[in-house]
Structure 1
Protein backbone atom coordinates (compact mmCIF):
# COMPACT_ATOMS: atom_id res chain seq x y z
CA UNK A 1 0.00 0.00 0.00
CA UNK A 2 1.39 3.41 -0.97
CA UNK A 3 1.08 6.21 1.61
CA UNK A 4 3.76 8.82 0.96
CA UNK A 5 7.32 9.22 -0.22
CA UNK A 6 10.13 8.93 2.30
CA UNK A 7 11.85 12.36 2.45
CA UNK A 8 15.44 12.58 1.36
CA UNK A 9 18.18 13.48 3.86
CA UNK A 10 18.70 16.93 2.31
CA UNK A 11 14.96 17.67 2.78
CA UNK A 12 15.04 17.06 6.53
CA UNK A 13 15.53 20.15 8.79
CA UNK A 14 19.02 20.62 10.06
CA UNK A 15 20.03 20.74 13.71
CA UNK A 16 20.51 24.49 13.48
CA UNK A 17 16.98 24.96 12.19
CA UNK A 18 15.54 22.80 14.99
CA UNK A 19 17.47 24.77 17.62
CA UNK A 20 16.33 28.07 16.13
CA UNK A 21 12.69 26.91 16.03
CA UNK A 22 12.92 25.77 19.65
CA UNK A 23 14.36 29.13 20.73
CA UNK A 24 11.66 31.04 18.85
CA UNK A 25 8.91 28.88 20.43
CA UNK A 26 10.40 29.44 23.88
CA UNK A 27 10.53 33.21 23.33
CA UNK A 28 6.89 33.27 22.16
CA UNK A 29 5.80 31.15 25.12
CA UNK A 30 7.68 33.42 27.51
CA UNK A 31 6.09 36.51 25.94
CA UNK A 32 2.62 34.99 26.27
CA UNK A 33 3.36 34.06 29.87
CA UNK A 34 4.43 37.61 30.77
CA UNK A 35 1.83 39.54 28.76
CA UNK A 36 -1.23 37.23 28.97
CA UNK A 37 -1.06 34.41 31.54
CA UNK A 38 0.49 36.28 34.46
CA UNK A 39 -1.85 39.35 34.24
CA UNK A 40 -5.04 37.34 33.66
CA UNK A 41 -4.40 34.59 36.23
CA UNK A 42 -2.25 36.19 38.96
CA UNK A 43 -2.73 39.97 38.41
CA UNK A 44 1.03 40.29 37.76
CA UNK A 45 1.81 42.73 34.95
CA UNK A 46 5.57 43.47 34.71
CA UNK A 47 5.31 44.87 31.16
CA UNK A 48 2.07 46.85 31.47
CA UNK A 49 0.61 45.11 28.43
CA UNK A 50 -1.91 43.24 30.54
CA UNK A 51 -3.39 46.51 31.84
CA UNK A 52 -3.76 47.80 28.29
CA UNK A 53 -5.47 44.58 27.20
CA UNK A 54 -7.78 44.49 30.24
CA UNK A 55 -6.25 41.21 31.48
CA UNK A 56 -4.83 42.56 34.74
CA UNK A 57 -8.29 43.49 35.99
CA UNK A 58 -9.44 39.94 35.26
CA UNK A 59 -6.56 38.58 37.34
CA UNK A 60 -7.34 40.98 40.20
CA UNK A 61 -10.94 39.78 40.25
CA UNK A 62 -9.80 36.14 40.38
CA UNK A 63 -7.40 36.90 43.22
CA UNK A 64 -10.12 38.72 45.15
CA UNK A 65 -12.55 35.83 44.70
CA UNK A 66 -9.92 33.37 45.87
CA UNK A 67 -9.22 35.48 48.99
CA UNK A 68 -12.93 35.74 49.79
CA UNK A 69 -13.38 31.97 49.40
CA UNK A 70 -10.43 31.34 51.72
CA UNK A 71 -11.82 33.80 54.30
CA UNK A 72 -15.24 32.13 54.19
CA UNK A 73 -13.69 28.70 54.67
CA UNK A 74 -11.64 29.94 57.63
CA UNK A 75 -14.72 31.55 59.22
CA UNK A 76 -16.65 28.28 58.88
CA UNK A 77 -13.82 26.34 60.50
CA UNK A 78 -13.71 28.80 63.43
CA UNK A 79 -17.49 28.56 63.88
CA UNK A 80 -17.37 24.75 63.88
CA UNK A 81 -14.48 24.73 66.38
CA UNK A 82 -16.20 27.23 68.72
CA UNK A 83 -19.45 25.25 68.68
CA UNK A 84 -17.54 22.06 69.48
CA UNK A 85 -15.75 23.73 72.43
CA UNK A 86 -18.94 25.00 74.08
CA UNK A 87 -20.13 22.75 76.94
CA UNK A 88 -23.54 21.21 76.68
CA UNK A 89 -26.16 23.06 78.72
CA UNK A 90 -28.52 21.17 80.95
CA UNK A 91 -32.18 22.05 80.97
CA UNK A 92 -33.38 22.72 84.49
CA UNK A 93 -37.10 22.46 84.99
CA UNK A 94 -38.55 25.17 87.21
CA UNK A 95 -39.85 24.02 90.59
CA UNK A 96 -43.25 25.12 91.75
CA UNK A 97 -43.70 25.72 95.49
CA UNK A 98 -47.05 25.49 97.13
CA UNK A 99 -48.30 28.59 99.00
CA UNK A 100 -47.68 28.51 102.74
CA UNK A 101 -50.97 30.17 103.60
CA UNK A 102 -54.40 29.05 102.67
CA UNK A 103 -56.11 31.13 100.07
CA UNK A 104 -58.71 33.52 101.44
CA UNK A 105 -62.29 32.57 100.65
CA UNK A 106 -63.69 34.23 97.59
CA UNK A 107 -66.10 37.06 98.34
CA UNK A 108 -69.69 36.39 97.52
CA UNK A 109 -70.97 38.45 94.63
CA UNK A 110 -74.64 39.10 94.19
CA UNK A 111 -75.91 37.75 90.91
CA UNK A 112 -77.51 40.33 88.66
CA UNK A 113 -79.61 39.02 85.86
CA UNK A 114 -79.06 40.83 82.58
CA UNK A 115 -80.48 40.48 79.14
CA UNK A 116 -78.02 39.28 76.48
CA UNK A 117 -76.88 41.98 74.11
CA UNK A 118 -78.37 41.67 70.66
CA UNK A 119 -75.96 40.41 68.00
CA UNK A 120 -75.00 43.04 65.44
CA UNK A 121 -76.70 42.58 62.14
CA UNK A 122 -74.45 42.23 59.14
CA UNK A 123 -75.73 43.53 55.86
CA UNK A 124 -74.64 41.64 52.78
CA UNK A 125 -74.53 43.26 49.36
CA UNK A 126 -77.61 42.50 47.32
CA UNK A 127 -76.04 41.22 44.09
CA UNK A 128 -78.30 40.79 41.08
CA UNK A 129 -75.85 38.84 38.92
CA UNK A 130 -72.76 36.70 39.51
CA UNK A 131 -70.50 35.22 36.82
CA UNK A 132 -67.57 32.81 37.16
CA UNK A 133 -65.41 32.22 34.11
CA UNK A 134 -62.02 30.55 33.49
CA UNK A 135 -59.47 32.45 31.38
CA UNK A 136 -56.51 30.63 29.84
CA UNK A 137 -53.09 32.35 29.55
CA UNK A 138 -53.41 35.38 27.22
CA UNK A 139 -57.21 35.09 26.96
CA UNK A 140 -59.46 38.14 27.39
CA UNK A 141 -63.15 38.69 28.00
CA UNK A 142 -65.56 41.65 28.26
CA UNK A 143 -68.75 42.22 30.26
CA UNK A 144 -71.12 45.18 29.89
CA UNK A 145 -74.12 46.55 31.80
CA UNK A 146 -76.91 48.30 29.91
CA UNK A 147 -77.39 51.55 31.82
CA UNK A 148 -79.17 54.88 31.52
CA UNK A 149 -77.26 58.13 31.92
CA UNK A 150 -76.58 58.82 35.61
CA UNK A 151 -77.51 55.28 36.73
CA UNK A 152 -75.35 53.76 39.48
CA UNK A 153 -74.28 50.10 39.59
CA UNK A 154 -72.19 48.50 42.32
CA UNK A 155 -69.68 45.79 41.49
CA UNK A 156 -67.08 43.41 42.87
CA UNK A 157 -64.68 41.26 40.92
CA UNK A 158 -61.76 39.01 41.90
CA UNK A 159 -59.22 36.92 40.02
CA UNK A 160 -58.46 33.53 41.57
CA UNK A 161 -55.10 32.07 40.55
CA UNK A 162 -53.32 35.32 39.66
CA UNK A 163 -53.90 39.03 38.98
CA UNK A 164 -55.36 40.37 35.74
CA UNK A 165 -55.24 43.48 33.58
CA UNK A 166 -58.53 45.35 33.26
CA UNK A 167 -60.10 48.35 31.54
CA UNK A 168 -63.37 49.85 32.80
CA UNK A 169 -65.07 51.75 29.97
CA UNK A 170 -68.36 52.53 28.27
CA UNK A 171 -69.82 53.18 24.82
CA UNK A 172 -73.14 53.99 23.20
CA UNK A 173 -74.84 56.58 21.01
CA UNK A 174 -71.57 57.39 19.24
CA UNK A 175 -69.84 58.15 22.55
CA UNK A 176 -67.11 56.31 24.45
CA UNK A 177 -65.41 56.79 27.80
CA UNK A 178 -62.60 55.11 29.78
CA UNK A 179 -63.23 55.12 33.53
CA UNK A 180 -60.21 53.24 34.89
CA UNK A 181 -57.38 50.89 33.88
CA UNK A 182 -55.14 48.56 35.87
CA UNK A 183 -52.35 46.04 35.40
CA UNK A 184 -51.70 43.06 37.65
CA UNK A 185 -54.70 43.68 39.94
CA UNK A 186 -56.13 40.76 41.99
CA UNK A 187 -59.54 42.32 42.84
CA UNK A 188 -61.57 45.53 42.84
CA UNK A 189 -64.94 46.83 44.00
CA UNK A 190 -66.90 50.06 43.93
CA UNK A 191 -69.59 51.89 41.98
CA UNK A 192 -69.96 52.51 38.27
CA UNK A 193 -71.83 55.70 37.33
CA UNK A 194 -72.93 55.80 33.69
CA UNK A 195 -71.68 58.93 31.94
CA UNK A 196 -74.30 58.45 29.20
CA UNK A 197 -76.90 55.94 28.09
CA UNK A 198 -75.25 52.84 26.68
CA UNK A 199 -73.13 49.84 27.64
CA UNK A 200 -70.70 50.17 30.53
CA UNK A 201 -68.42 47.51 31.98
CA UNK A 202 -65.04 45.80 32.04
CA UNK A 203 -62.52 44.14 29.79
CA UNK A 204 -60.25 41.57 31.48
CA UNK A 205 -57.02 39.96 30.21
CA UNK A 206 -55.13 37.04 31.80
CA UNK A 207 -51.39 37.70 31.49
CA UNK A 208 -50.37 34.81 33.78
CA UNK A 209 -48.75 31.56 32.68
CA UNK A 210 -51.65 29.57 34.16
CA UNK A 211 -55.45 29.53 34.05
CA UNK A 212 -57.30 31.91 36.37
CA UNK A 213 -60.94 32.01 37.51
CA UNK A 214 -62.62 35.41 37.24
CA UNK A 215 -65.56 36.14 39.55
CA UNK A 216 -67.80 39.16 38.77
CA UNK A 217 -70.75 40.30 40.90
CA UNK A 218 -72.99 43.24 40.02
CA UNK A 219 -76.04 44.97 41.45
CA UNK A 220 -77.85 48.28 41.28
CA UNK A 221 -79.56 50.30 38.58
CA UNK A 222 -78.96 48.59 35.25
CA UNK A 223 -80.88 46.59 32.70
CA UNK A 224 -78.87 43.46 32.10
CA UNK A 225 -75.36 42.07 32.33
CA UNK A 226 -74.11 40.60 29.06
CA UNK A 227 -70.84 39.12 27.86
CA UNK A 228 -69.49 40.88 24.80
CA UNK A 229 -66.40 38.64 24.20
Structure 2
Protein backbone atom coordinates (compact mmCIF):
# COMPACT_ATOMS: atom_id res chain seq x y z
CA UNK A 1 0.00 0.00 0.00
CA UNK A 2 1.30 3.41 -0.93
CA UNK A 3 0.36 6.41 1.09
CA UNK A 4 -0.23 9.74 -0.58
CA UNK A 5 1.28 12.51 1.49
CA UNK A 6 0.10 16.06 0.91
CA UNK A 7 2.77 18.66 1.30
CA UNK A 8 2.34 21.58 3.68
CA UNK A 9 2.58 23.96 0.72
CA UNK A 10 -0.32 22.23 -1.07
CA UNK A 11 -2.39 22.20 2.13
CA UNK A 12 -1.84 25.94 2.66
CA UNK A 13 -2.77 26.73 -0.97
CA UNK A 14 -5.95 24.65 -0.67
CA UNK A 15 -6.91 26.35 2.59
CA UNK A 16 -6.37 29.82 1.12
CA UNK A 17 -8.38 28.94 -2.01
CA UNK A 18 -11.25 27.55 0.09
CA UNK A 19 -11.26 30.69 2.27
CA UNK A 20 -11.38 32.98 -0.77
CA UNK A 21 -14.22 30.98 -2.34
CA UNK A 22 -16.16 31.04 0.94
CA UNK A 23 -15.69 34.83 1.23
CA UNK A 24 -16.92 35.37 -2.35
CA UNK A 25 -19.98 33.17 -1.78
CA UNK A 26 -20.72 34.99 1.49
CA UNK A 27 -20.46 38.50 -0.02
CA UNK A 28 -22.14 37.74 -3.37
CA UNK A 29 -24.91 35.36 -2.30
CA UNK A 30 -25.48 35.00 1.45
CA UNK A 31 -25.38 38.69 2.44
CA UNK A 32 -27.89 39.74 -0.27
CA UNK A 33 -30.25 36.79 0.32
CA UNK A 34 -30.23 36.86 4.13
CA UNK A 35 -29.57 40.49 5.07
CA UNK A 36 -30.29 42.58 1.93
CA UNK A 37 -26.67 43.77 1.96
CA UNK A 38 -25.40 43.77 -1.61
CA UNK A 39 -22.07 45.58 -2.08
CA UNK A 40 -21.41 43.89 -5.44
CA UNK A 41 -25.00 44.31 -6.79
CA UNK A 42 -24.82 40.69 -7.98
CA UNK A 43 -27.51 39.69 -5.48
CA UNK A 44 -29.91 42.29 -6.90
CA UNK A 45 -29.23 41.16 -10.47
CA UNK A 46 -29.90 37.53 -9.48
CA UNK A 47 -33.01 38.44 -7.48
CA UNK A 48 -31.49 37.35 -4.18
CA UNK A 49 -32.23 40.60 -2.32
CA UNK A 50 -35.94 39.82 -2.61
CA UNK A 51 -35.35 36.71 -0.48
CA UNK A 52 -34.23 38.88 2.43
CA UNK A 53 -37.72 40.39 2.56
CA UNK A 54 -39.66 37.12 2.73
CA UNK A 55 -39.32 36.82 6.51
CA UNK A 56 -40.38 40.46 6.95
CA UNK A 57 -43.73 39.83 5.25
CA UNK A 58 -44.76 37.21 7.82
CA UNK A 59 -44.26 39.61 10.74
CA UNK A 60 -46.99 42.23 11.05
CA UNK A 61 -45.43 45.68 11.43
CA UNK A 62 -47.27 48.96 11.87
CA UNK A 63 -46.63 51.36 9.01
CA UNK A 64 -45.17 54.76 9.76
CA UNK A 65 -48.20 56.99 10.20
CA UNK A 66 -46.32 59.96 8.71
CA UNK A 67 -46.59 58.33 5.29
CA UNK A 68 -50.22 57.99 4.29
CA UNK A 69 -52.14 57.63 1.08
CA UNK A 70 -51.99 60.96 -0.73
CA UNK A 71 -54.52 62.30 -3.18
CA UNK A 72 -53.28 63.69 -6.46
CA UNK A 73 -50.71 66.43 -5.90
CA UNK A 74 -49.44 68.84 -8.58
CA UNK A 75 -45.94 70.23 -8.01
CA UNK A 76 -44.28 72.92 -10.11
CA UNK A 77 -40.49 72.62 -10.38
CA UNK A 78 -38.15 75.03 -12.18
CA UNK A 79 -34.79 73.69 -13.36
CA UNK A 80 -32.37 76.59 -13.99
CA UNK A 81 -30.32 76.66 -17.21
CA UNK A 82 -27.17 74.54 -17.10
CA UNK A 83 -27.87 72.93 -13.70
CA UNK A 84 -29.56 69.94 -12.12
CA UNK A 85 -31.96 69.55 -9.21
CA UNK A 86 -33.53 66.72 -7.21
CA UNK A 87 -37.09 66.44 -5.97
CA UNK A 88 -37.62 63.66 -3.41
CA UNK A 89 -40.32 61.81 -1.48
CA UNK A 90 -39.98 59.71 1.68
CA UNK A 91 -41.51 56.26 1.18
CA UNK A 92 -41.67 53.04 3.16
CA UNK A 93 -40.75 49.71 1.61
CA UNK A 94 -43.47 48.48 -0.79
CA UNK A 95 -45.29 51.84 -0.84
CA UNK A 96 -46.68 52.74 -4.28
CA UNK A 97 -46.63 55.97 -6.25
CA UNK A 98 -48.11 56.92 -9.60
CA UNK A 99 -46.59 59.88 -11.38
CA UNK A 100 -46.60 61.98 -14.47
CA UNK A 101 -44.23 64.80 -15.28
CA UNK A 102 -43.93 67.03 -18.29
CA UNK A 103 -41.77 69.98 -19.21
CA UNK A 104 -42.71 73.13 -21.05
CA UNK A 105 -41.44 71.38 -24.19
CA UNK A 106 -37.68 71.01 -23.64
CA UNK A 107 -36.31 67.51 -22.99
CA UNK A 108 -34.32 66.97 -19.77
CA UNK A 109 -31.92 64.27 -18.71
CA UNK A 110 -33.40 62.52 -15.66
CA UNK A 111 -32.66 59.74 -13.21
CA UNK A 112 -35.58 58.36 -11.18
CA UNK A 113 -33.88 56.74 -8.19
CA UNK A 114 -34.00 55.93 -4.49
CA UNK A 115 -31.61 56.04 -1.55
CA UNK A 116 -32.05 53.66 1.40
CA UNK A 117 -32.83 55.28 4.75
CA UNK A 118 -29.79 55.43 7.03
CA UNK A 119 -27.30 54.54 4.30
CA UNK A 120 -24.06 56.50 4.61
CA UNK A 121 -22.19 54.94 1.68
CA UNK A 122 -23.81 57.07 -1.04
CA UNK A 123 -25.57 54.05 -2.56
CA UNK A 124 -28.62 54.71 -4.71
CA UNK A 125 -30.70 52.56 -7.04
CA UNK A 126 -31.87 53.96 -10.37
CA UNK A 127 -35.28 52.91 -11.70
CA UNK A 128 -35.27 54.87 -14.97
CA UNK A 129 -32.68 57.01 -16.77
CA UNK A 130 -33.34 58.83 -20.04
CA UNK A 131 -33.67 62.20 -21.74
CA UNK A 132 -37.34 63.06 -22.27
CA UNK A 133 -39.78 65.95 -22.11
CA UNK A 134 -42.45 63.89 -20.31
CA UNK A 135 -42.95 60.58 -18.55
CA UNK A 136 -45.85 58.73 -16.95
CA UNK A 137 -45.75 55.62 -14.79
CA UNK A 138 -45.79 54.08 -11.34
CA UNK A 139 -43.40 52.30 -9.06
CA UNK A 140 -43.28 50.38 -5.80
CA UNK A 141 -40.55 51.38 -3.39
CA UNK A 142 -38.13 48.45 -3.00
CA UNK A 143 -36.85 49.82 0.33
CA UNK A 144 -37.62 52.51 2.90
CA UNK A 145 -35.91 55.78 2.04
CA UNK A 146 -36.04 58.80 -0.22
CA UNK A 147 -37.14 58.33 -3.82
CA UNK A 148 -37.50 60.83 -6.62
CA UNK A 149 -36.03 62.51 -9.64
CA UNK A 150 -32.80 64.19 -10.58
CA UNK A 151 -33.35 66.43 -13.61
CA UNK A 152 -30.46 68.06 -15.50
CA UNK A 153 -31.07 71.03 -17.77
CA UNK A 154 -28.38 71.38 -20.45
CA UNK A 155 -30.36 74.11 -22.21
CA UNK A 156 -29.48 77.80 -22.04
CA UNK A 157 -32.83 78.75 -20.50
CA UNK A 158 -34.78 77.51 -17.45
CA UNK A 159 -37.18 74.60 -17.94
CA UNK A 160 -40.46 74.30 -16.04
CA UNK A 161 -41.69 70.86 -14.92
CA UNK A 162 -45.18 69.96 -13.82
CA UNK A 163 -44.98 66.87 -11.58
CA UNK A 164 -48.27 65.11 -10.79
CA UNK A 165 -48.07 62.40 -8.11
CA UNK A 166 -50.38 60.27 -5.99
CA UNK A 167 -49.79 57.36 -3.65
CA UNK A 168 -48.14 56.58 -0.33
CA UNK A 169 -45.43 59.15 0.41
CA UNK A 170 -44.38 62.23 2.29
CA UNK A 171 -42.97 65.01 0.10
CA UNK A 172 -39.43 66.00 1.04
CA UNK A 173 -39.12 68.54 -1.75
CA UNK A 174 -36.02 69.95 -3.41
CA UNK A 175 -32.74 68.48 -2.25
TM-score, scaled relative to structure 2: 0.54
How do residues 54-203 of structure 1 correspond to structure 2 at under 5 angstroms? 127-171=71-115, 172-174=117-119, 176-183=124-131, 185-203=132-150
Instruction: Mark the structure with the bigger radius of gyration.
Output: 1
User: Of 209, 223, 228, which aligns to 2:156?
Assistant: 209
> Structure 1 residue 127: deviation in Å?
4.8
Residues 179-198 of structure 1: per-residue CA shift (max 9 Å, x gap): 11112x01001002101011
**Unaligned segments of structure 1, at least 5 residues:** 1-125
* Higher RCO (CA 8 Å, separation ≥ 6 residues): 2
Looking at structure 1, the residues matched to 75 and 174 of structure 2 have their Cα atoms a distance apart, in angstroms, of: 13
**Unaligned segments of structure 2, at least 5 residues:** 1-69
- Three-state SS of the structure 2 residue aligned to 1:207 is coil
Structure with higher helix content:
1
Matched, 1:227 2:149: no
Q: 1:131–1:180: structure 2 CA closer, same or farther, 3 Å change rule? A: same
TM-score, scaled relative to structure 1: 0.42
Looking at structure 1, the residues matched to 130 and 100 of structure 2 have their Cα atoms a distance apart, in angstroms, of: 15
Asked whether the equivalents of residues 104 and 159 of structure 2 are also in contact (C-alpha less than 8 Å), the reply is yes
Residues 103-122 of structure 1: per-residue CA shift (max 9 Å, x gap): xxxxxxxxxxxxxxxxxxxx
Structure with higher strand content:
2
